[in-house]
């Protein structure tokens, strides 16, 4: 089940030489209840690419969304992303669960939490 998503995040940097992962502003991670080293799915709205990686906590309130390692081929600065975290749930939990949605505005600042 979709547990949480960050919607419309804009890539601020990419680093092909970094070992891998996606760096995210700590404030955005907390708003989405996401954790360092958690596996995520990334959907690039700009070019249609999709990939999985894990999170690294970036500087709080920096707005950083950094795509690192091989994934840098799939997202460049300026691209818009949906970043999703999933979780296993029982049938009972699924019947009432609603995912956390963090909508992002300019400069990767939180616009709304649904």
In this prediction, residue 19 has a pLDDT band, given cuts at 50, 70 and 90, of confident
* In the predicted structure, residue 20 carries a pLDDT above the cut 80: no
pLDDT in tens, 62-109: 999 999 999 999 999 999 999 999 999 999 998 899 999 999 999 999
Quick one: pLDDT at residue 64?
97
Q: What is the DSSP string of 1-48?
A: -EEEEEEEEE--EEETTS-SEEEEEHHHHHHTT--TT-EEEEEETTT-
Is 47 exposed, middle or buried, given 0-12, 13-18 or 19+ CB atoms closer than 10 A?
exposed
pLDDT in tens, 25-52: 999 999 999 999 999 999 999 999 999 9
Quick one: pLDDT at residue 114?
96
Q: Which residues are catalytic?
A: 21, 54
Q: Where are the domains of the chain?
A: 2-100
Report phi then psi at 27, rounded to 5.
Answer: -65, -35
Q: What is the pTM for the complete model shown? A: 0.95
Place of tokens 């209840």: 33
- CATH-assigned architecture of domain 2-100: Beta Barrel (2.40)
């Amino acid at each position: 089940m979709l547990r949480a998503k960050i919607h419309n995040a804009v890539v601020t940097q990419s680093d092909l030489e970094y070992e891998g992962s996606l760096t995210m502003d700590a404030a955005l991670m907390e708003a989405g209840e996401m954790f360092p080293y958690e596996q995520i799915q990334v959907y690039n709205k700009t070019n249609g690419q999709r990939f999985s990686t894990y999170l690294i906590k970036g500087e709080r309130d920096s707005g950083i969304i950094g795509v690192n390692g091989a994934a840098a081929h799939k997202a460049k600065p300026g691209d818009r992303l949906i970043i999703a975290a999933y979780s296993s749930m029982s049938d009972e939990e699924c019947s009432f669960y609603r995912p956390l949605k963090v909508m992002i505005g300019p400069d990767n600042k939180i616009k709304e939490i649904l």
